Amino acid sequence: MNKGILYGIGAYALWGFFPIYWKLLHGIPATQLISHRIIWSFILLVLIILFTGQWAEFRATARFNTLRIYTFAALLIGGNWLLYVWAVNANFIVETSLGYFINPLISVLLGVIFLRERLRIGQWIPVLLAALGVTYLTFTYGRLPYIALALAFSFGTYGLVKKLSPLGSLYGLTVETGILLIPAIGYLIFAEANGDGAFLHTGLTSTLLMVGAGVVTTIPLLLFASAARSVSLWVVGLLQYIAPTIQFLIGVFIYKEEFNHNQLIGFGMVWTALVIFLVENYLANRVPVEPLPEIGEG
């Protein structure tokens, strides 16, 4: 098997098992967990850049004029991380998986709105079907699946911002965590001063897991970066559904979250949309297609 595919499977599988990791820290506020994730991720990323001899290149490319766009990216990914960890420990794992199932379709929609990308008819069908599935879930839940939508839109927008950003994934995440570093440290100092700090106060296992948040953030990112460089885009698109599938199975079968008949119908619409989306993209990338004439031609 192609090494890039193995890297991709490894990255998405690790992301898929994230709920178990955060559940081990369920007694600690999500705000503190994310602060530790930011701090230890930044430290590890800087060490990787230093030990791989990339520091001079990093300093040369991470210029001051890139801070505006990376500040926006940092706020998006920080908010996404915070919501995800809170949702996992509030027993909404199934709904978080829905967010990452529909995220690629949201990304397509954002591309149409902000990048003026044109969709083929075969691409509009899954987008509309997924919207129908979310609408159905809204009526059956009795509420909008706001966790799923917030995760999908925040991560989709983050992807859009990254597409417009000049740095690669390693340098970009280093800058983003660096921007969030001071607020994260400040918040933990504030929590410690108020007697609410968890670090070094909740046992050795919890302390090590908080430090390890940097490792579990960085390793999948590096695996993904390696995969993206060596396999086709449609393969990466297919592999990305490993993570929400694992999350969904963990929520239903390990943590016994509710998944009723109505949810099955709504999720089924989204899953069907994804199958259509993947098949259409596969065929479009494998079979030469004559471009459609512009309006006014012919």
How many angstroms separate the CA atoms of 271 and 248, rounded? 12
- Please tell me which residue, 139 or 45, carries the higher pLDDT value: 45
Span 49-78, pLDDT tens digits: 999 999 999 988 888 778 889 999 999 999
How many angstroms separate the CA atoms of 181 and 146, rounded? 28
Q: Nearest Cα to 48, choosing from 255, 222, 230, 286?
A: 222
pLDDT of residue 42: 96
Least confident of 119-128, 165-174, 243-252: 119-128
- Please tell me which residue, 196 or 5, carries the higher pLDDT value: 196
pTM confidence score = 0.86
Q: Is the pLDDT of residue 108 over 60?
A: yes
- The number of residues making up the chain comes to 298
3-state secondary structure of 91: coil
Contact between 123 and 280 under an 8 Å Cβ cutoff? The reply is yes
Identity of the residue numbered 52:
T
Cα Rg of the chain, angstroms: 20
- Positive or negative: CA dihedral 237, 76, 56, 164: positive
Q: Count Cα neighbours of 7 within 13 Å in the Cβ-side half-sphere.
A: 16
pLDDT of residue 280: 81
How many angstroms separate the CA atoms of 170 and 167, rounded? 8
